[in-house]
Structure 1
């Protein structure tokens, strides 16, 4: 897990802390630069998000190498 960007590590830690067994990280679960894969995944994206327990969005970061959480 240490090879994942900090944002993903934080999302996994939050998910585990809440006792949620599975996590979908869009940029890991679908090939972003592959048009065919993106079209296939985007066709079922509504079902994926509709069935989710929790949706984590990090608005404080500019890239995946920064963490989701900051000092308050």
Structure 2
């Protein structure tokens, strides 16, 4: 139950941080007057680092699902000869 609450909060934080990174990039990309603006690039980079950390935590909390979904044992088809 606690894990589900943590994941719910973590998913919201991931979404919000993704929006921050996306908006920072769009502002930098489509406002030529901000080219070379150090603060926008730092904002984007910091948001990216936070996003990466949140993704790692998300994967750790969901590792049992990842293991079941992607690392399941392959069943033999047919009998042995």
TM-score of the pair, normalised by structure 1: 0.31
Decide which structure has the larger Cα Rg and report it.
Answer: 2
Higher helix share: 2
TM-score of the pair, normalised by structure 2: 0.29
